[in-house]
Amino acid sequence: MRFGRTVERGFLPVYSVDTEEEAKALVVMSCKRSMNGEMIAPELAEKQTLERLAAFGDRLRGLHQMMKARAKP
């Protein structure tokens, strides 16, 4: 997974956050680990379609909103 602000040719962003720390926390919250330790999003475990990418992006958005709400004092 790439955490930079630019999108390389051939990559499609599904959700963006402000920091690498937020991105890593969001990936841990949203993905399961395979037996090899790879992070796998349930929506993308099989054929990756635009609908599944959108569903993953929506879930990331919801989890990120939860993260921000919990971080507020």
The ranges assigned to domains in the chain are: 20-71
pLDDT exceeding 90 applies to what percent of the chain? 26
The pLDDT score that the predictor gives to residue 9 is 63
pTM above 0.95, yes or no: no
pLDDT exceeding 70 applies to what percent of the chain? 82
Tell me the sheet residues that pair with 33: 39
- Which residues lie closer than 8 Å to 39 by C-beta, 6 or more apart? 1, 27, 28, 31, 32, 33
The pLDDT score that the predictor gives to residue 1 is 42
